[in-house]
Structure 1
Amino acid sequence: MTTETRRFTTVRQRLVAVGPFVFGASCRQVVLAGILGVMVIAVVGCGSDDASEDLSTTLTHTISRGDLSVMVTEQGMLESSSNKEIKCKVRGQATVLWVIETGTDVKPGDELVKLDSSTIEDNISTKKISYQTAMATYAQSESDVQVAEIDIQEYIEGTYASELKTKQKDVAIAKSNLRSAENILEHSQDMFTKGYVSTLEVEGNTFSLQRANLELEVANTQLEALQRFTKEKTLTDLRGKLKAKQAKMKSDKANLDLEKSKLDREEKQLENCVITADSSGMVIFPSMADWKSTPDVEEGATVREDQVLLQIPDLRQMQVKVGVHEAYVDRLKPGMRARVTLLAETIEAEVSTIASIARRSGWWTGNMVKYDTVIKIDVGEDSTYRPGMSASVDIILAEHVDVLTIPVAAVVETNGVYHCWVKEGNQTQKRVLDVGDSDDEFMVVKTGVKAGDKVVLNPRAYIEEAQREGLEPTASAEEKSAADKPKKPQADKPKKPQGDKPKKPQGDKPKPKPKKPSKP
């Protein structure tokens, strides 16, 4: 069926479709319907010159040489690269009673945040009691040490000296008694030889002499024991008690210092409940998480120790942090040129850092994986830019000079092969392209077209061949890898002779063997 016949059939079908409305209508309506049918046939006849498609209404693009900048565009927020952080110094957790509004200009000494201090005030009262108790214990320990030191001095200079003299006196008395006993015994013996005293008296004097000797030995032993043992034992005991009391005094002193440090710490915590500015500048809230709608620091919020509550940014050092899609992150490098658009003004910038780990993603990001990329900009001394302003960033991934470019809308890709359709008169010609780098609008084309060619935009809407290309199934990765592998060379197998094959005899076929009867 020719194209003209096919189009006539289509018009006839359209007329049949409107037949029920024409049937039974007035004569004037029938005439109007006939005129309408003639006009449709005339239009169809005018378009029958093209044997394939009607290209009169297609949009085309003329291939030319030019420069192409491949960029990735992302939206970000202006922030300072140097922020003075104001952190919570209260241990544990605290509740925010009041916080200054973000964007307020402050000077040193201005109050920024007030935290709840009721619990800390109770702790201070308890710590004061413990501190006073520790002071009393330490004072008693100091007194005990001093008494122990006096006891040692008292024993050496008093008790021991007195006992020593007493023992020495006993020895002297014992020696005197011994001499008297010797003299009496000697006299009684002289008297006994002369017959003036009896034997019994001599024996009594002899016994007195023996007793005096024993008493002298006892006195000497007691004196020696005092000097050698009793003194050392008593001093060892007194010195041990002194060391024990000194150790207790050190323990009580450490406990006193501990209680004092606890009290000082609580008093310092009370001071930290009121946070003031130590420098001039504009205070802002730190960046909150993407999934949160309110800042972390607000009245009634609970904050923890070392949490950043506010920031005072340096407005002379600014940057823009954007999230770059994972498809482009491998092409990013520090030092790449970028253009930042702020308040309809474009600023030249460069890529500073690229995160090695993707930012957290979820429903708030559409589950898109992005990597934080910092763009450093120079805003000057008298800049009017402020943190939090929206910024559009164009990161230049590559720049191609004097190359052929083709619109992305004119290219159809099927199984890794790129095609386009070049319009020549009222017909089109399919071309295979060798393409290079591309952005969202144009692609670098190496071969397949030349400057001056007119390529059809959106060919799938006008050209049946392009539609068929789009409907072809895409080869899977395994099929592509299998197709790319080189085939192994097969060794030449010996060919069988092509002569006449021996025919099987056409005699009687062997009878089939009888089947064994199946077991019941």
Structure 2
Amino acid sequence: MTTDFLPQTKQTKASTFVVTENAALHRSPSLSSPRTRGWGRPILFASVAIAVVGGATMYLRGGVLAQPLGSKLTHTIARSDLQVTVTEEGSLESSSNKEIKCRVRGGSTVLWIIKAGTPVKPGDVLVKLDTKVIDDNINAQRIKYQNALAVFAQSESDVAIAKINIQEYLEGTFRTDKQTLKKDIKIAESQLLAAQNLVLHTTKMNRKGFTTELQLKSDQDSAEHKQIELDVLHTKLDVLERYTKAKKIEELNGILKAKEAKMASDQAGLKLEKDRLDREEDQLPRCNITAETSGMVIYPVTEQWKNQPNIEEGATVREDQVLLVIPDLDQMQVKLGVHEAYVDRMKLGMPARVKLQEEFVDGEVLSVASVTRPAGWWNGNQVKYDTLIKLKSQQGLKPGMSASVEVFLARHNNVLTIPVAAVVEQEGQFFCWVKTAESMQRRRLDLGDSNDQFIVVNGGVKEGDEVVLNPRAVIQDAQIDALKPVTGKKMGEPKLDAKGSEKAQ
């Protein structure tokens, strides 16, 4: 780059009006760095607009002329290599973390938690959770378990009694009833035989005239009664053996099955209550969380708008919530947000250079999120995509360290470049002012890729041309163009000379 000073013209008025802008204002918004976006840029544009309008008013009234051209910095167009990068701020983290989670069912309250950055070894206490609710649940569940145990014990007894009742009937009650009926039958048979003998004796005596007909009739009726009683007893024995026994056995078996079903239900209830008691008792050791591996503990990442971690003493935590993280310091990476203007150019494996304090570490793009992170006031409403940069193993890296990451997007070799400060955008077109032997010429540019300082130029200028830097500060036409209202007519519409340029005033 060469810098020349053009001769200063004479001042025509005692008072002068200067329109100056930062070189970054001449570039296209699409070419600006993501760092320049946010609240600062709108305020800067507003300030410049007020200055421009005020100066324009004075100029149009004829009271003040534009500032004399004075010294103009120029740049000679030449071929060079252009490296296109994007730089973002991020933080260091581990790609492999041992998460310490809350395993208490239903969550709990943190009573004590170890400080972040503390080195730990297996068995060290990391977090203590409140146990009062769990103690109350255990006591209540023990009562329910004992009640279920009593109910099950009664059911077991009922089943045993039902089985004994069946044996008692078959081997006791049924046999007793059967023997009783057989005994009664024997007695009835004996009584019937005696009654029949008496009828025979009375009949003989009646023939001899010793007894009356009435006596004979009475003895005959008595014998018939004894026969009927004997028949009844035989019928009872038959019913007992064929029907009463089967009915009673079926009834007792039904009672046994009902008792067994109730016992199974009570047993399931007992097991359920026992499982609940075991679960409640299992919660107690989970309230005292210890380290399983050695390392350094850190707090999990919180939302960007919060200035303190979610995990602190007195905080309520839910089940499976991550309380602490023990990172693997041998597998480190940088997490950063890439602006939406560059995310489509980010490719896996792209080289990156990471600055950690005063050291530089080589890395490469590991992943790019397909969904943007939430935008809000905490990040200036910028739309960014989470990107991970894989680092080479290095000693002394710690999670949470600030990192400045430069990702190399493209490299253009032996191309014509023009400084960003020499380019002015007007209604979607880009222009520069070229120094010639006669005057300053405005050239319409065909631009390509860019970085924060230079832009690849595909047409409009050639190698060796001298372009004016910050033209709106020193070129009157550039100042007038800045004051023009936006209309349907574009700046490129005036007739151009044979070289595609127009003379500056």
Q: Do both proteins adopt the same fold according to a TM-score greater than 0.5, normalized to the shorter chain? A: yes
- Checking the alignment, whether the CA contact within 8 Å between 1:414 and 1:472 is kept in structure 2 is no
Q: How far, CA to CA, are the matches of 1:139 and 1:419 in structure 2?
A: 97
Q: How many residues align?
A: 434
1:332 to 324, 342, 346: 346
- Checking the alignment, whether the CA contact within 8 Å between 2:10 and 2:68 is kept in structure 1 is no
How far is the alpha carbon of 1:475 from its aligned partner?
Answer: 5.3
The superposition leaves residues 98-157 of structure 1 with CA deviations (integer Å, 9 ceiling, x where unpaired) of 111111111110100111212222322222233223222322222222122111111111
Q: Secondary structure at the match of 1:237?
A: helix
Give the RMSD, CA atoms, in angstroms.
2.5
Alpha-carbon distance change, 455 to 167 in structure 1, aligned in 2, over 3 angstroms: same
How far is the alpha carbon of 1:245 from its aligned partner?
Answer: 2.5
Alpha-carbon distance change, 457 to 124 in structure 1, aligned in 2, over 3 angstroms: same
Q: Secondary structure at the match of 1:112?
A: strand
Asked if 1:145 is matched to 2:168, the reply is: no
The superposition leaves residues 400-450 of structure 1 with CA deviations (integer Å, 9 ceiling, x where unpaired) of 222111111111122222111112347322212111112222111111112
Residue type at the aligned position of 1:63 = I
1:441 to 453, 456, 459: 453
1:58 to 69, 72, 79: 72
How far is the alpha carbon of 1:322 from its aligned partner?
Answer: 0.7
How far is the alpha carbon of 1:201 from its aligned partner?
Answer: 3.2
State the match for 2:222 in structure 1.
Answer: 208
- Checking the alignment, whether the CA contact within 8 Å between 2:335 and 2:386 is kept in structure 1 is yes
Asked if 1:401 is matched to 2:413, the reply is: yes
Residue type at the aligned position of 1:435 = L
Matches within 5 A, 1:256-295: 256-295=270-309
Residue type at the aligned position of 1:209 = A
Query: Is the radius of gyration larger for structure 1 or structure 2?
Result: 1
Q: How far, CA to CA, are the matches of 1:107 and 1:77 in structure 2?
A: 26
Matches within 5 A, 1:96-245: 96-193=110-207, 195=209, 197-245=211-259
Asked if 1:415 is matched to 2:427, the reply is: yes
TM-score (normalised: structure 2)? 0.80
How far is the alpha carbon of 1:191 from its aligned partner?
Answer: 4.7
State the match for 2:13 in structure 1.
Answer: 10
Q: How far, CA to CA, are the matches of 1:399 and 1:470 in structure 2?
A: 33
TM-score (normalised: structure 1)? 0.78
Q: How far, CA to CA, are the matches of 2:347 and 2:178 in structure 1?
A: 97
Q: Secondary structure at the match of 1:352?
A: strand
Q: How far, CA to CA, are the matches of 1:390 and 1:433 in structure 2?
A: 40
Residue type at the aligned position of 1:367 = N
Q: How far, CA to CA, are the matches of 1:395 and 1:186 in structure 2?
A: 137
Asked if 1:309 is matched to 2:323, the reply is: yes
- Checking the alignment, whether the CA contact within 8 Å between 2:98 and 2:325 is kept in structure 1 is yes
Comparing 343-352 and 281-290, the one that deviates more: 343-352
* Structure 2 stretches lacking a partner, 5+ long: 1-8, 17-65, 494-505
How far is the alpha carbon of 1:375 from its aligned partner?
Answer: 1.5
Q: How far, CA to CA, are the matches of 1:473 and 1:329 in structure 2?
A: 34
Q: How far, CA to CA, are the matches of 2:438 and 2:117 in structure 1?
A: 65
Alpha-carbon distance change, 435 to 9 in structure 1, aligned in 2, over 3 angstroms: closer
Q: How far, CA to CA, are the matches of 1:398 and 1:174 in structure 2?
A: 124
- Checking the alignment, whether the CA contact within 8 Å between 2:11 and 2:68 is kept in structure 1 is no
The superposition leaves residues 248-289 of structure 1 with CA deviations (integer Å, 9 ceiling, x where unpaired) of 322332232222222222222111111001111111111111
Q: How far, CA to CA, are the matches of 2:195 and 2:401 in structure 1?
A: 123
Residue type at the aligned position of 2:471 = P
- Checking the alignment, whether the CA contact within 8 Å between 2:345 and 2:409 is kept in structure 1 is yes
* Structure 1 stretches lacking a partner, 5+ long: 1-5, 15-51, 484-520
Q: How far, CA to CA, are the matches of 2:474 and 2:244 in structure 1?
A: 126
Q: How far, CA to CA, are the matches of 1:397 and 1:259 in structure 2?
A: 64
How far is the alpha carbon of 1:86 from its aligned partner?
Answer: 0.3
Q: How far, CA to CA, are the matches of 2:11 and 2:406 in structure 1?
A: 54
Q: Secondary structure at the match of 1:449?
A: coil
Q: How far, CA to CA, are the matches of 1:394 and 1:187 in structure 2?
A: 141
Q: How far, CA to CA, are the matches of 2:193 and 2:486 in structure 1?
A: 139
Matches within 5 A, 1:321-470: 321-380=335-394, 383-425=395-437, 427-470=439-482
Residue type at the aligned position of 2:375 = S
Q: How far, CA to CA, are the matches of 2:12 and 2:114 in structure 1?
A: 79
Q: Secondary structure at the match of 1:322?
A: strand
- Checking the alignment, whether the CA contact within 8 Å between 2:11 and 2:67 is kept in structure 1 is no
- Checking the alignment, whether the CA contact within 8 Å between 1:412 and 1:470 is kept in structure 2 is no
Q: How far, CA to CA, are the matches of 2:454 and 2:193 in structure 1?
A: 140
Q: How far, CA to CA, are the matches of 1:57 and 1:10 in structure 2?
A: 18
Q: How far, CA to CA, are the matches of 2:383 and 2:442 in structure 1?
A: 38
How far is the alpha carbon of 1:377 from its aligned partner?
Answer: 1.8
Q: How far, CA to CA, are the matches of 1:364 and 1:150 in structure 2?
A: 80
Q: Secondary structure at the match of 2:445?
A: strand
Alpha-carbon distance change, 348 to 422 in structure 1, aligned in 2, over 3 angstroms: same
- Checking the alignment, whether the CA contact within 8 Å between 2:125 and 2:288 is kept in structure 1 is yes
* Identical-pair percentage: 56
Q: Secondary structure at the match of 2:336?
A: strand
Q: Secondary structure at the match of 2:13?
A: helix
Q: How far, CA to CA, are the matches of 2:333 and 2:486 in structure 1?
A: 44
The superposition leaves residues 455-508 of structure 1 with CA deviations (integer Å, 9 ceiling, x where unpaired) of 1111111111222333334457xx99xx9xxxxxxxxxxxxxxxxxxxxxxxxx
Q: How far, CA to CA, are the matches of 2:190 and 2:103 in structure 1?
A: 87
- Checking the alignment, whether the CA contact within 8 Å between 1:55 and 1:426 is kept in structure 2 is no
Q: How far, CA to CA, are the matches of 1:334 and 1:188 in structure 2?
A: 131
Residue type at the aligned position of 1:160 = F
Q: Secondary structure at the match of 1:292?
A: coil
How far is the alpha carbon of 1:178 from its aligned partner?
Answer: 3.3
- Checking the alignment, whether the CA contact within 8 Å between 1:99 and 1:112 is kept in structure 2 is yes
Matches within 5 A, 1:26-105: 57-105=71-119
Q: How far, CA to CA, are the matches of 2:10 and 2:295 in structure 1?
A: 77
